[in-house]
Amino acid sequence: MLRYWICFACAVYFAGHCGANYCRDANLCCPGRDSSCVVQKAHQNAIIDDISDKPCYCDHACMKLGDCCPDFRETCGVTDCVVSDWGPWSECDTSCGSGSMERSRRIVQAPAHGGRHCPSLVQRRACQAHHGCSPDSDIPLREESAMILPGGLSVSRHSNETVDIRKNLRLRNPDDPESNSHREYCVQFEVAKVAKACHIDSEYKALREGGTVCVMCEAAALRRDLKWRCGGHGVVGHTTRFYALVAPHCHGKWIRTNENMDKKGDCCISPDFIFV
What CATH number corresponds to the domain at position 96?
Answer: 2.20.100.10
Q: Are 143 and 92 found together in one domain?
A: no
Asked if residue 170 lies in contact with residue 255, where contact means CB atoms within 8 angstroms, the answer is: no
Q: For strands 185-194 and 251-256, give the pairing.
A: antiparallel
Residue 91 carries which DSSP code? P
Q: Classify residue 134: in a domain, yes or no.
A: no
Cα distance between residue 256 and residue 242, in whole Å: 12
Tell me, yes or no, whether 94 and 160 share the same domain.
no
Same domain, yes or no, for 66 and 15? yes
Based on the domain organization, do 32 and 112 belong to the same domain?
A: no
Mind listing the pLDDT tens digit for each residue in 43-83? Answer: 665 565 666 678 889 998 888 888 889 889 888 888 899 99
Specify if 96 maps to a domain: yes
One domain for residues 73 and 168: no
Domain span at 122: 82-129
60 plus 17 within the same structural domain = yes
- Model confidence pTM above 0.85: no
Does residue 82 contact residue 109 with C-beta atoms inside 8 Å? yes
Q: Which amino acid is at 45?
A: N
Asked if the model's pLDDT at residue 110 lies above 90, the reply is yes
Residue 38 DSSP SS3: strand
Verify that 86 and 27 share a domain, yes or no. Answer: no
Residue 40 and residue 93 in one domain: no
Phi/psi of residue 132, each to 5°?
A: -100, 5
Distance separating alpha carbons of residues 243 and 149, to the nearest angstrom: 9
112 in a structural domain: yes
147 and 248 assigned to the same domain: yes
CB 47 within 8 A of CB 54: no
Q: Is residue 148 part of a domain?
A: yes
pLDDT tens digits along 237-275:
899 999 998 787 899 999 999 887 777 667 778 889 999
Alpha helix stretches (DSSP H) within the chain: 10-13, 23-26, 62-65, 72-75, 139-142
How many structural domains comprise the chain? 3
**What is the rounded distance in angstroms from the CA atom of residue 126 to the CA atom of residue 95?**
13
36 has pLDDT over 90: no
Whether 94 and 69 map to the same domain: the answer is no
CA–CA gap between residue 207 and residue 166 (Å, rounded): 19
Note whether 188 and 101 are same-domain residues.
Answer: no
Specify the pLDDT at position 203: 87
User: Do residues 80 and 111 touch, judged by C-beta distance below 8 A?
Assistant: yes
State the pLDDT at residue 4.
42
Integer angstrom CA distances of residue 78 from 20, 68, 120: 21, 12, 20
